[in-house]
Each structure stands twice: as structure tokens, then as C-alpha cells.
Structure 1
């Protein structure tokens, strides 16, 4: 069985959703690394950066980095059609945007978890977060301007890119601002939010509570 080090409402959620859609059994080892030194120590043997997600394969091999894990799983099970194949004309843009979401947007989680990692003082920390949120919103806007989605980001078929965007867009600066800056992708993420195959999954791993879009 696959094991994934993750946490509710974290970057492990799109990976868990992918495994759910693939109907692959897996075990989640809960580790809220941004809140607990104990959790960070728990994750350290599988990821020296002490952060989730980390996937442990049945062979014992470890895969980290959310985009890499998603790409790996989609390619491992091509029959599920959760990613464009190697010869698909959409493959290049799929890889481009997977890397973009990871590097240009999700990477800021390291600062958001603890702005004192780069802030000059505690007084400066709120300004750091504001700047991070502005940058994230701008990156979503630039992505939205360059894509022509249909039902989903790449066309008419759900891909791991859609799962990735859907989850990461729920992080700060939160969905309301995402909707404003990425109106084309707004319809995509709402569609993924409402996917009946994931209804029970979302309720357990990233629940929709009152006011969640404006948190």
C-alpha cells in the first residue's frame, strides 16, 4: 500500500484526491508540519525539508514535491486519462502549468507558514504576508490570461492539473480573490469542488465551511 505523509487542507490533498479517483488504496500519515515540531521530526526521515507531502512507494522509494508526485501518478496510470500522454499536443502546456503552480505559487507556503523566515521584525510580518498574497494573486492572473480552458484547464477532461489548481487556490489569499484574478479558472475550480466523485473526500480532507472562500 502507498503511504503519504500529509495533512488536512495541505498540499497532500490533490495527491490524495488523485489516488481516490484512481481507486488506489493508500494510508495517510497525518503530519501538520506548520504547527508542530513533533510533526516536522516525524516527516524528516522521508523529507529532509521536513514538509509534506511525501509519498512512500511499496518498494520503499520516496517521492517528494507535490507536482512531481501528481505527474508520476498520472503517468503511471495512463488509462485513467488524468494527464495528457507523452505524444499529446497538450503535454507541453500541462507540464508548464504544473511546474508554474508549484514554483510560482505553492512555493510561497514556506513564507506564509512563518513570515519571520524572511521578515525583518514581527512588525514587518503582516506586510510580508500582504506582499506574498499580492504576488500569488498576480501569478494566478497571469496564468488565467494565457489559458483557454473548456470544462477544465486543459480542455474537456479532468486532469491532475485541475486538482492541483483547485486545492492550491484555496490557500491564501483565498478563493474570493482567486475568482477576481482568475475568472476563467474560477469556473473550473467550482466544477472540481462539486465533482460528485470527490464529495465525501472534500468533506474529510478539505471541508467547505461557512465563509471559507473569504477566510
Structure 2
């Protein structure tokens, strides 16, 4: 009953791997470093036609793609882990809102940002503008989330959820944590708590070391 995660160091597979670690479910990672080359993107195409990670293969053999969908599915498959407010919980709407927000408004921008030539070809000036504008858009979106939430120890209050894992990982990407803390200081405190979870200490060190550029 082992899960298979198609992923890569520091990538969108990391919150999925972190969730599986906290759940205690057996899993293995097959590395597809899609941010590194076209060859890697082609290699994962048979598993995910969008040519990106993460993808999750369930113990039953079903393949699920899209990081937010995988995280939501895992919380339903493993409710005993308590990593999401259940249906009917007053926090459920906020949980679903911010999971979708991070996925649609922030994470989706990295498809453009990571390889600007996908939209503007070899125009170097246009590529630079895309990187600058997406960086500011990402920061602005974190600011919106900051203004619309009232975090406690974690985003939804006292209890950790996959929303916290998702936020903590995506906020490590550019424009990096320094900018994140500027525009979302209260969420930044939550992210620091997730970084420091003792049950994930070994995992972070192995799969997404928090050092160097990631600190901003």
C-alpha cells in the first residue's frame, strides 16, 4: 500500500511529500526535475500530460495531478491525520478558499515565470518584464491573503493543516521569504512555525533545505 510521488527537490511535490510524512503513509519519490530541462519535462509526459510535477500514484494505481487536488484528496483518504477541517466545520470554507487561492493565483504564475519564453519567445526584454511583473503579482497576492486572514498558531487557528504546508513551501519560491515577510508578516510567522516543526525537521533538511537564496 505504498504511494508513489513524482516530484523533485524544492518543487511542488514537497507539500505532498510533507503531508505523507505527517500522515505516516509509506511512499517513495521518483525524481523528475522538470524545472531543469525540456528532456525532464518530456520524461514525465507519460505520467502527466501537463509535463510537470507533482503527480501521485495511489496504492490502487490511480494517478492524481495538481498539488492542491492531491493534498485535498490525501486529507479525505486519511482523516485520522487531522490535516484539514472536515465538511461541516466552520473553517472549511476558508480552508478551501485559500487552498484554491494559492494554487490559482500564486502557484500558477510559476509556469510563466520559470520559463518566460513559453509566452514571449527569445525576446530578452519581454522575459525580464515577465519576471518582474509576476514577482510583484505574487507578492501582491500574498498581501491579499494576509489582509483576509486572521491566523493563530497556524492559518486557520490552533491546528496544522495542509494549507500551512502549501503556504510554507510556495512562499519559499521567488520573490523569496524576505519579500513574503514584508507583505505578509503574520502569515510569515505561521510559515516559520511550519519550518520548525520537529516532526518535519529531517524531511526539510533532505528535501527542501531552508538556506541560502530561499531565505531571501
TM-score normalised per structure 2: 0.96
- Return the alpha-carbon distance in structure 2 between the equivalents of residues 12 and 114 of structure 1: 19
**1:181 maps to which residue?**
183
Q: RMSD in angstroms over aligned alpha carbons?
A: 1.0
Aligned match of 1:161: 163
Q: Does 1:77 align with 2:65?
A: no
Structure 1 segments unaligned to the other structure (5+ residues): none
CA distance in 2, matches of 1:211, 1:65: 26
CA distance in structure 2 between the partners assigned to 1:96 and 1:139 by the alignment? 13
Cα shift readout 1:114-157 (whole Å, capped 9, x = no counterpart) = 01112361222111100000000000000100000100000100
- 1:211 Cα deviation (Å)? 4.6
Equivalent residue, structure 2, for 1:152: 154
Aligned to 2:34: 33
Deviation, structure 1 residue 209: 2.0
Q: Does 1:210 align with 2:216?
A: no
Structure 2: segments with no counterpart, 5+ residues: none
Rate the CA distance shift 1:125–1:211 in 2: closer, same or farther, 3 A.
closer
**Greater alpha carbon shift after TM alignment, 119-128 vs 45-54:** 119-128
Aligned residues: 214
Per-residue deviation, 1:67: 0.2
Aligned residue number for residue 9 of structure 2: 8
Measured in 1, the distance between the counterparts of 2:46 and 2:32 equals 13
TM-score by length of 1: 0.97
